[in-house]
Amino acid sequence: MAPPMSADAFLDALRSEGVTVVEVGDWREHNRNHKGPWGPVHGVMIHHTATRGTAYTVRICRDGRPGLPGPLCHGVIAKDGTVHLVGHGRANHAGAGDDDVLRAVIAEKALPPDDEANTDGNRHFYGFECENLGDGEDPWPDAQLEAVEKVAAAVCRHHGWTERSVIGHREWQPGKVDPRGFTMAWLRGRVRDRLK
């Protein structure tokens, strides 16, 4: 259980981890806090966008799409590894997921199957969207994967969490497949090593 970082603390945490950050518009005040609570925070969620092109991807994640207003995450991780900050606060990224998974994340234990959609995830997770088509063909450049590792580690380091607090959207919400292209076990291993 932790209160969310301030925008300044979030920026500092990312930069201290060596992340190259691009601040997009009024990201510090761009959120969905008027629609529901933000925090306490319990983890970091990783996604892929199923889009191509960094400018287009960042715009969608900032503004949203028909039926799903932005921001759709906090940071967009581009193919070149730069992280575009599009929002701070409650964001439309996690949707409804499994309370058993949330309990496991809080306890930092192995995750159970996500077979229920009974819990508001937008309240409890930082969210990062990765620019990738998610078709199993679109490559994940090393610079991008390194940035995924760094943002996850940055948030965990700030809150004193282990790699167990990093989950994929597909581990949270039934029916989701993202991120596709690497396993979350592999990513958690990299985060674990980075946090040593």
The site that binds Zn ion (CB under 5 A) totals a number of residues, namely 3
In the region spanning residues 95 to 114, those forming contacts with Zn ion, defined by CB under 5 A, are: none
Binding segment toward Zn ion, per CB under 5 A, in 9-17, 83-91, 143-151, 170-178: 170-178
Task: Decide if residue 178 touches Zn ion (CB under 5 A).
Answer: yes
Task: Decide if residue 163 touches Zn ion (CB under 5 A).
Answer: no
Binding segment toward Zn ion, per CB under 5 A, in 24-32, 53-61, 114-122, 161-169: 161-169
Q: Which is nearer to Zn ion, 32 or 47 (CB)?
A: 47
Instruction: Give the start-end residues of each E strand in the chain.
Output: 21-23, 43-48, 64-65, 68-69, 75-77, 83-85, 96-97, 119-120, 125-130, 166-168
What does 150-175 look like in DSSP terms, one character per residue? HHHHHHHHHHT--GGGEEEGGGTSTT
* Alpha carbons 70 and 61: distance in angstroms, whole number: 6
Q: From the CB of 12, what's the least distance to Zn ion, in Å? A: 26
Binding segment toward Zn ion, per CB under 5 A, in 10-18, 140-148, 164-172, 182-190: 164-172
Q: From the CB of 188, what's the least distance to Zn ion, in Å? A: 17
Q: Which residues pair with 45 in a beta bridge?
A: 127, 167
In the region spanning residues 34 to 93, those forming contacts with Zn ion, defined by CB under 5 A, are: 47
Binding segment toward Zn ion, per CB under 5 A, in 59-67, 80-88, 102-110, 172-180: 172-180
The phi and psi torsions of 10 (rounded to 5 degrees) equal -60, -50
* Alpha carbons 159 and 134: distance in angstroms, whole number: 30
Q: From the CB of 72, what's the least distance to Zn ion, in Å? A: 8
Residues 42, 169, 188, 194: which binds Zn ion (CB under 5 A)? 169
Task: State CA 68 to chain mean position distance.
Answer: 17
Tokens at residue 114, please? 């996500």
In the region spanning residues 141 to 160, those forming contacts with Zn ion, defined by CB under 5 A, are: none
44: alpha, beta or left? (left if phi > 0; alpha if psi -120 to 50): beta
Q: From the CB of 178, what's the least distance to Zn ion, in Å? A: 4
**Contact positions toward Zn ion, by CB under 5 A?**
47, 169, 178
